[in-house]
């Protein structure tokens, strides 16, 4: 009955039926039916809320049942895969999610389960990589999932996979590839009229691609068509997301009235809480503007900017960890090859006892070749490690230290100065109205502006100061042996130096300013995180005070 109700869209009734089924089956020994009831009830809760805190507990219970059913590979693979979707929301459990999916894939392949099941495992793996912002691996696994479903013409899952591939291609800035996926979605929608919501999602994704291309008028048209089809889908999260994207496209396209209209619609809906923090801040900023509350609107827009900055930092961290992991895997393979080669040499030495003269000659030849090969490989490995270490510590655009290197050196500097009872200060600064520079002159000029700020900062810095780019247009300077008065003087020199100079680049004369937040260590056990947090609060005060100024943290 529950399955039939779910099929007919009677989700509340289906939940009630599954509640009854679970109550009855829990009194019996573990069965496939109980695991299925938990999984299906979880899926309906996903459709209704898109909130992992609501739908994931049932999936965890289903896994505990499935592990007691060794003779049911289909149930185990399905249950492990569905539970792995819950780990897309928990960065700290990334490896646990991957381990669960590897177990599911091994079960599926060893028991020759259907392409549909294997596709679901690839899909979950891709989504896990995507949530952790490792987009190239996400694209790889999502493509494998699409190919599995295409092999059996499973149009529903093919379509769902194209929907996800569009957003991943946009994140990778592969907009032509994203457009190709959208065209496939429209083709499936035209050839599959039995799936009523295909056209809604095709229009939504077409709008997302046009928005990424800054083609606001076409983006608005697609989002409007999706809005007109909202009654064809039960997935409220995507209906709400479409309205937020429509509001953003309208605002960027110059139609503030329409942007506010759709933002107010989202703000009054029960789905607002399912959106990411940045989208919620955008909606609240639009509503505040409509209510003539500019300060509140500015706060929400600043919060949105901070969310985007955090997302960029998380992406950089995820990318660095992924590249480090791949490099470590290469080193491990090299070390394995070394061990295998050493074993072969030992075997040759034993054989030489039987054919001493002949094998000695062979051994000398092979040893010479091996020594040359190993020397060459050792040189390559040493250079590779040195190059990787430099890249891992340095911002590629400016040559300054990156965030990771700053956090590696900071404890050393803080401990050394603490042992000598010396002060330490931090400057946190960013370029005022940097988006205007990008929009007016282009991203290449924006990149040169970032390099210009770093060059200027170096010109007024001391040899023992550490300058780092944290991401985007945001920078930090760690100043050993520097109290609050000295730090304010250095910050003011940097601010004045940039104010008095102009960037000359490709025929453009560009004036720019920066705002600076200053914080000084108050106790010897204060960490870099604490100093940056205090400097960030001071930077916020500098921005709020009108920009192009220095502010220091006051407890």
- CA dihedral for 142, 144, 145, 149, sign (positive or negative): positive
Over 60: is that where the pLDDT of 75 sits? yes
Contact 132, 93 (CB under 8 A): no
Cross-strand pairs, 316:
none
Confidence at residue 357, expressed as pLDDT on a 0 to 100 scale:
59
Confidence at residue 535, expressed as pLDDT on a 0 to 100 scale:
96
How high does pLDDT run on average in the chain? 84
Strands 508-510 and 401-402: what pairing?
Answer: unpaired
Alpha-carbon span 16 to 539, nearest angstrom: 53
Task: Break the chain into its structural domains and give their ranges.
Answer: 1-69, 314-393, 401-552
The residue-averaged pLDDT of 9-23 equals: 81
Contact 164, 142 (CB under 8 A): yes
Alpha-carbon span 4 to 7, nearest angstrom: 5
Alpha-carbon span 528 to 521, nearest angstrom: 9
Confidence at residue 277, expressed as pLDDT on a 0 to 100 scale:
78
Over 60: is that where the pLDDT of 281 sits? yes
Confidence at residue 386, expressed as pLDDT on a 0 to 100 scale:
54
Question: 504-515, pLDDT tens digit by residue?
Answer: 988 889 999 999
Q: Is 166 exposed, middle or buried (0-12, 13-18, 19+ CB in 10 A)?
A: buried
Cβ-Cβ contacts under 8 Å for 329 (sequence gap 6 or more): none
Residue 481 backbone zone (phi > 0: left; psi -120 to 50: alpha; other: beta): left
Alpha-carbon span 32 to 225, nearest angstrom: 43
Write down the CATH number for the domain with range 1-69.
1.25.40
Confidence at residue 355, expressed as pLDDT on a 0 to 100 scale:
58
Confidence of residue 45 (pLDDT cuts 50, 70, 90): confident
Confidence of residue 376 (pLDDT cuts 50, 70, 90): low
Query: How would you write 372-403 as a 3-class SS string?
Result: HHHHHHHHHHHHHHHHHHHHHHECCCCCCEEH
| CATH architecture, range 401-552 | 2-Layer Sandwich (3.30)
Least confident among 284-298, 399-413, 453-467: 284-298
Over 70: is that where the pLDDT of 338 sits? no
- The residue count of the chain comes to 555
Alpha-carbon span 250 to 259, nearest angstrom: 5
Question: 206-218, pLDDT tens digit by residue?
Answer: 999 999 999 999 9
Domains 1-69 and 401-552 share a fold: no
Exposure b/e, 192-226, CB count within 10 A at least 16 = b: eeeeebbbbbbbbbbbbbbbbeebbebbbbbbbbb
Cβ-Cβ contacts under 8 Å for 65 (sequence gap 6 or more): 30, 31, 34, 35, 38, 79
Confidence at residue 14, expressed as pLDDT on a 0 to 100 scale:
79
Contact 142, 126 (CB under 8 A): yes
Contact 206, 245 (CB under 8 A): no
Contact 192, 173 (CB under 8 A): no
Confidence of residue 358 (pLDDT cuts 50, 70, 90): low
Of 514, 525, 498, nearest to 551 by C-alpha is 514
Query: How would you write 479-523 as a 3-class SS string?
Result: EECCCHHHHHHHHHHHHHHHHHCCEEECCEEECCCEEEEEEECCC
Contact 230, 245 (CB under 8 A): no
Question: 98-152, pLDDT tens digit by residue?
Answer: 888 999 999 999 999 999 999 989 998 998 888 888 889 999 999 999 999 999 9
Render 285-315 in DSSP notation, one character per residue.
HHHHHHTT-HHHHHHHHHHHHHHHHHHHHHH
Question: 387-443, pLDDT tens digit by residue?
Answer: 666 677 899 999 999 999 999 999 999 999 999 999 999 999 999 999 999 999 999
Confidence at residue 305, expressed as pLDDT on a 0 to 100 scale:
64
Confidence of residue 295 (pLDDT cuts 50, 70, 90): confident
Q: Is 27 exposed, middle or buried (0-12, 13-18, 19+ CB in 10 A)?
A: exposed
Single pTM value for the model: 0.51
Share of the chain above pLDDT 70, in %: 81
Question: 214-271, pLDDT tens digit by residue?
Answer: 999 999 999 999 999 999 998 998 999 999 999 999 988 999 889 899 888 888 888 7
Contact 247, 289 (CB under 8 A): no
């Amino acid at each position: 009955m529950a399955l039939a109700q779910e099929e007919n869209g009677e989700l509340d009734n289906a939940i009630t039926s599954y509640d009854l089924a679970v109550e009855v089956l829990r009194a019996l020994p573990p069965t496939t039916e109980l695991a299925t009831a938990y999984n299906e009830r979880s899926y309906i809760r996903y459709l209704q809320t898109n909130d992992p805190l609501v739908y994931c507990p049932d999936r965890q219970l289903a896994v505990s049942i499935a592990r007691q059913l060794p003779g049911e590979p289909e149930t185990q693979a399905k249950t492990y895969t569905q539970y792995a979707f819950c780990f897309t929301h928990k960065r700290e459990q990334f490896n646990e999610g991957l381990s669960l999916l590897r177990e599911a894939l091994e079960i599926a392949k060893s028991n020759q389960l259907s392409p549909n099941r294997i596709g679901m495992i690839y899909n979950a793996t891709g989504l896990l990589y995507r949530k952790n912002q490792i987009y190239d691996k996400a694209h790889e696994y999502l493509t494998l999932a699409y190919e599995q479903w295409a092999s059996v013409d499973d149009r529903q899952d093919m379509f769902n996979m194209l929907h996800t591939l569009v957003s991943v291609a946009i994140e990778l800035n592969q907009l032509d590839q994203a457009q190709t996926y959208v065209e496939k979605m429209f083709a499936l929608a035209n050839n599959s009229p039995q799936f009523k919501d295909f056209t809604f999602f095709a229009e939504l994704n077409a709008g997302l691609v046009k928005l990424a291309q800054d083609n606001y008028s076409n983006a608005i048209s697609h989002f409007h068509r999706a809005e007109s089809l909202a009654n064809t889908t039960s997935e409220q999260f995507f209906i709400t997301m479409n309205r937020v994207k429509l509001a953003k496209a309208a605002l960027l396209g110059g139609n503030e009235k329409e942007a506010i209209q759709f933002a107010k619609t989202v703000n009054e809906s029960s789905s607002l809480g399912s959106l990411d923090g940045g989208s919620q801040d955008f909606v609240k900023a639009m509503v505040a503007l409509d209510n003539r509350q500019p300060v509140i609107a500015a706060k929400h827009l600043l919060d949105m900017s901070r969310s985007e900055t955090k997302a960029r930092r998380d992406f950089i961290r995820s990318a660095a960890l992924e590249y480090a992991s791949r490099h470590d895997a290469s080193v491990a393979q090299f070390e394995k090859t070394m061990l295998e080669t050493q074993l072969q040499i030992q075997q040759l030495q034993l054989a030489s006892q039987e054919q001493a003269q002949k094998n000695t000659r062979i051994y000398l030849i092979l040893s010479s070749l091996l020594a040359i090969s190993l020397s060459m490989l050792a040189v390559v490995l040493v250079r590779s490690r040195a190059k990787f270490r430099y890249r891992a510590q340095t911002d590629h655009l400016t040559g300054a230290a990156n965030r990771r290197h700053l956090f590696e050196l900071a404890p050393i500097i803080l401990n050394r100065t603490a042992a000598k009872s010396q002060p330490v200060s931090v400057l946190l600064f960013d370029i005022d109205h940097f988006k205007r520079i990008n929009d007016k002159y282009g991203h290449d000029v924006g990149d040169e502006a970032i390099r210009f700020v770093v060059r200027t900062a170096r010109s007024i810095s001391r040899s023992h100061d550490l300058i780092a780019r944290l991401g985007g247009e945001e920078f930090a300077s760690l100043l050993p042996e520097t109290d609050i008065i000295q730090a304010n003087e250095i910050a003011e020199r940097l601010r004045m130096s940039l104010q008095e100079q102009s960037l000359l680049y490709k025929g453009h004369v560009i004036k720019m300013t920066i705002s600076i937040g200053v914080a000084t260590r108050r106790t010897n056990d204060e960490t870099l995180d604490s100093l940056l947090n205090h400097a960030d609060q001071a930077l916020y005060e500098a921005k709020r005070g009108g920009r192009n100024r220095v502010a220091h943290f006051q407890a």
